[in-house]
Structure 1
Amino acid sequence: MRRAEREAAFTDYVAARQVHLRRIAYAICGDWHRADDLLQISLTKLYVAWPRVCGKGTEDAYVRQIMVRANIDEHRRPWRREHVTDEVPELEAGADHQLEERSALFDALQELPEMQRKVVVLRHWLQLSVADSAKELGISEGTVKSHSSRGLAALERALSSTPQG
């Protein structure tokens, strides 16, 4: 594949998947500004690896793994600071009725401990298997199951106590 074709394929992939990947980044880190940074880092690293990844059908998994690892790296930095935000992303037209439900879900998701949040996102939002989630996070399958169970229970408690409008 020529360079121009690879770059066109990369551009098409990013155009098609950017919104979805940004939401995954937000679900992982809990802040839209950090999610944008995380997505940018991930897409930059994907661009470098694009000749190896392109056309194999593993592009999304590769980007998710980059996001998880980049987020872990960011948490290890001593200058990292938490910034809580009440902003909700703009939704597409016709999706306004889902705003409150989605906002409550994301708020509850952000209350989870970091590893539980990552497991819940990978297992239940992205529907990865236990084995795939364990591999992406670098933990055992039993730990994935434990975090998943505890995270879902905490989400259920938080969402059942949320007033419904």
Structure 2
Amino acid sequence: MRQHLRPESGTAIPAVPLTPAVSDPADVEREAGLARLFEVHYSSMLRLAVLLGADDPENVVAEAYYQIYRKWRRLRDTEAAEAYLRSTVCNLTRMRIRHLQVVRRHVEKPADELVASAESTAILRDDQRVLMDALQQLPPRQREALVLRHWLGLKESEIAAAMGISCGSVKTHTSRGLAALTQAMEARR
């Protein structure tokens, strides 16, 4: 154990570790697994939250990681952690948007006061802004289906699991969303 000297007397005192010792192997495995998940998927989960319309994507992603941390021991397959994380980000974003809609109904603010966060602006390039504006005008389910399909490249079954709907509904939302996006993009030209 490291020791420090007391300045006034020169006697040694034991150093207190900055982090508590993790002795349970399950805790060690959880910490390592979550660290790997964070390294590999944090930026993609942040972008997913931005594309789904979260006004505070960092908080949404942080909450998703917290939830998976709490439920790590109950995961049947730790390889499915990415899918669980993605689904959690989608659900938290949807809940956040619903909450904000209720709040905005009760607090009247001019629409021009709503400004995208600096993080959202930094992630997007200028040539994507027109597409993002059109994407934000879509109904939430259509936007989610399109983002999960075309940005993450998920299969219909994976999208259905993430959104909690059937594969047929995924096809419907994707088709309608693409049609609306096409129409909006053509109208802006």
Asked if Structure 1 and Structure 2 have the same fold, meaning a TM-score greater than 0.5 normalized by the shorter chain, the answer is yes
Tell me what 2:161 maps to.
135
Distance in 1, matches of 2:122 and 2:98, equals 31
Q: Secondary structure at the match of 1:17?
A: helix
Runs of 4+ in 1 over 6 A off after TM superposition: none
What is the CA-CA distance between 1:114 and the residue it aligns to? 0.8
1:81 has 2:81 as partner: no
Higher relative contact order (CA 8 A, sep 6+): 1
State the Cα RMSD in Å. 2.7
Tell me what 1:38 maps to.
60
Tell me what 2:48 maps to.
24
1:114 has 2:140 as partner: yes
Tell me what 2:88 maps to.
66
Any idea what the Cα deviations from partners look like across 1:105-149, whole Å, max 9, x if unmatched?
222111101111011111222122222222222222222111111
Tell me what 1:95 maps to.
none
Q: Secondary structure at the match of 2:104?
A: coil
Distance in 2, matches of 1:72 and 1:89, equals 20
TM-score of the two chains, using structure 1 as the length reference: 0.77
Distance 1:3-1:54 versus aligned 2 partners, 3 A rule = farther
Distance 1:21-1:122 versus aligned 2 partners, 3 A rule = same
Task: Single out whichever of 46-55 and 137-146 deviates more from structure 2.
Answer: 46-55
What is the CA-CA distance between 1:25 and the residue it aligns to? 0.9
Alpha carbons 1:53, 1:59 under 8 Å: kept: yes
Tell me what 1:94 maps to.
none
Q: Percent identity?
A: 30
Counterpart AA for 1:115: R
Alpha carbons 1:112, 1:154 under 8 Å: kept: yes
**Unaligned segments of structure 2, at least 5 residues:** 1-24, 106-110
1:9 has 2:39 as partner: no
Based on CA coordinates, which of the two structures has the bigger radius of gyration?
Answer: 2
Distance 1:161-1:76 versus aligned 2 partners, 3 A rule = closer
TM-score of the two chains, using structure 2 as the length reference: 0.68
